[in-house]
Structure 1
């Protein structure tokens, strides 16, 4: 469990930071842009910004699903519900903590809780229907971007409130986008 707590969960939460970074780039450059990536001062990648944003967004959506399931939540049939871990799954209960309830999730939302729930459901549905299975192209417009941002924020608050604080642990820092 220590490896999961110290390595796996921070890795997944860092992916949420990368997700937010990619969303921010797409939001400010909807039609893409030129990307240059230097490592130690040497140009290593040059091309369209989509080489960074597309996989980061898809990865973030998948990690969002995994993190919500870790907390004990899923979204079948368009509603957020509590779920049980499957056989060998590691979840919040593996650490002696209670699953997060839908009510707890929505209690942290400022404003329209129906919209907040729908944004989370849309993200989890995108993981299932648009990434894990080739059924549709991921929708990246202002509404979906704002919904994904809300989902990212919710995950950070939920993990800090229901996983890290109860164990008196520091929340891992995420990646930040620069302007």
Structure 2
């Protein structure tokens, strides 16, 4: 299933209510950062540009490592505009941890990040893409993001080994 960001925002085919493979969401986030990198002169952390997903056996560790540069980027380039108080509180906690600039804060950033983006806890939904592009106002800076195509694969719980 391919959807443009604008179609996700409009909830075409009720995409916001479907369970999506979390690897698809992760790849979609990387695609957003690749688009920004290729169309601007903004320097973006390489961890946001290259997929490290291989299997679901270590995917949680990949996502934990991904969360720090993700929120560093959003802290510097995004502005969270949402009515969701939990998201606001979590992002404020993340910003405080980023200000400390310590490796020990990775776990706190990850735990709060999971409250904003559910794919970080292996729970895929297109709402994460919508939140990244629209709630963090990236589309205001980079309007071309509305026309990016995302490949969203339905979730099959048999793929993840516990």
Point out the structure with the larger strand share. Answer: 1
Whether these two folds match at TM > 0.5 is no
**Structure number with larger C-alpha Rg:** 1
TM-score range, shorter chain: 0.3 to 0.5
Could you state the TM-score of these two structures normalised by the residue count of structure 1? 0.38
Point out the structure with the larger helix share. Answer: 2
